[in-house]
Amino acid sequence: MDKDLPVSIIVFDVNETLLDITTLEPLFERVFGDAFVLREWFAQLILYSQTMTLSGLYTPFGALAVGSLSMVAATRGVTLADADISELKTRMNEMPAHPDVAPALTRLRDAGFRMVTLTNSASASSPTALERAGIAPFFERSFSVESVRKFKPAPETYQLVASELGADTSALCLVACHLWDTIGAQAAGWRGALITRPHNAILPAAEVPAPDLIASELTELADQIVLRWKPA
């Protein structure tokens, strides 16, 4: 891949990158007495979504989210009520955008970048999570891995976006707060831009691709993207 070729399409991960999963913390505080169990649950959710893909299997992300909650509860000796499951689903559907999201998206839109999303979550709900968060108008399309029945970072998920947009992979940059996602995108020929939201960081190990851009705030990352790749 020619690192000098400009990026014209910015692809955003959704959960935690754009939408604030910390709004789920009250559920974990109430059920487990510790809001930080949210991080254990989310890590298990990602682990088992990737396990399903590596095993050639598929279960929708929402179902895995519920199952992961039940698994964490079982390991901690906690009995879940139906109301707990319902609350998880409701909170996941109503996550707000982080405060830095709208300003950053505005900056990128005004600079002339095309923007889409790529998420592990299903896209069939109406209104969508992006619509509820008030940021859907920024994106020309929203892609879900459900169409290929493989979770990120499977190569097919990134290939789907490039194919549907008719774009060369080098024209695409993934913005995510998960290094495993930027690694997958870069392996597929994209650029990767990492936002280090709390509890997310780079992995300093041999042969692990470093993101092309890194910032702690999405507004700062947007500035870096514009400075490096602003369309002519």
Q: How confident is the model at residue 6 (pLDDT cuts 50, 70, 90)?
A: confident
Which architecture characterizes domain 9-19+96-229 according to CATH? 3-Layer(aba) Sandwich (3.40)
Please report the pLDDT score of residue 186 as a whole number: 97
Please report the pLDDT score of residue 3 as a whole number: 57
Within a 10 A sphere around the Cβ of 11, how many other Cβ atoms?
Answer: 27
Does the pLDDT value for residue 5 go beyond 80? no
Please report the pLDDT score of residue 136 as a whole number: 96
216 φ/ψ angles, rounded to the nearest 5 degrees? -90, -15
| Mean pLDDT, rounded, of the chain | 95
| Residues across the chain | 232
Give per-residue pLDDT as tens, 39-74: 999 999 999 999 999 999 999 999 999 999 999 999
Within a 10 A sphere around the Cβ of 158, how many other Cβ atoms?
Answer: 27
Which helix (H) or strand (E) is 144 found in, with range? Answer: strand 141-144
Q: How confident is the model at residue 2 (pLDDT cuts 50, 70, 90)?
A: low
- Going by the DSSP 8-state scheme, the letter that residue 134 receives in this structure is T
Does the pLDDT value for residue 76 go beyond 80? yes
Give per-residue pLDDT as tens, 77-132: 999 999 999 999 999 999 999 999 999 999 999 999 999 999 999 866 778 999 99
CATH 3.40.50.1000 domain position(s) in the chain: 9-19+96-229
Which architecture characterizes domain 21-93 according to CATH? Orthogonal Bundle (1.10)
Please report the pLDDT score of residue 230 as a whole number: 87
The C-alpha atoms of residue 142 and residue 133 are separated, in whole angstroms, by 14
Over range 137-152, report the average pLDDT: 96
Does the pLDDT value for residue 1 go beyond 80? no
Please report the pLDDT score of residue 102 as a whole number: 98
- In sequence order, what DSSP letters do the residues of 58-125 get, joined into one string? ---HHHHHHHHHHHHHHHTT-PPPHHHHHHHHHHHHTPPBPTTHHHHHHHHHHTT-EEEEEESS----
Identify the weakest region by mean pLDDT among 125-134, 171-180, 217-226: 125-134
CATH 1.10.150.240 domain position(s) in the chain: 21-93
Give per-residue pLDDT as tens, 7-23: 999 999 999 999 999 99
Structure tokens at 70: 């039940």
What percent of the chain stands above pLDDT 70?
97
Does the pLDDT value for residue 192 go beyond 80? yes
